[in-house]
Amino acid sequence: MEKQCIPFNGGFLSGIRSYTMDIDNRRNRLYDLLIEHGIATDKEISLVTSINGFSEDTLNSILFSRTAYRDFNQYKEATNDNDD
């Protein structure tokens, strides 16, 4: 049986790569905002993420435990902060 080569143009896999980069960018930005706004220190974030994993949910949990806001959009609306 002869093998056929199927050309790859990015398609589905490039979409996954783009989606993964978006998640990474959001997660990293949320990490930075927690520090910039004085909500948590680098050591505090490192401790929590080493236990619960470095995810957007974990970072939002840190935000909630310190501010009672569920996510940064809610925090920004409540504090009239236009910083992204």
The residue extents of the domains of the chain are 24-79
**Choice between 4 and 28, residue whose per-residue pLDDT is larger:** 28
Cβ proximity of 78 and 51 under 8 Å = no
Distance of alpha carbon 64 from alpha carbon 71, whole angstroms: 7
pLDDT, tens digit, 9 for 90 and up, residues 28-76: 999 999 999 999 999 999 999 999 999 999 999 999 999 999 998 999 9
Global pTM?
Answer: 0.71
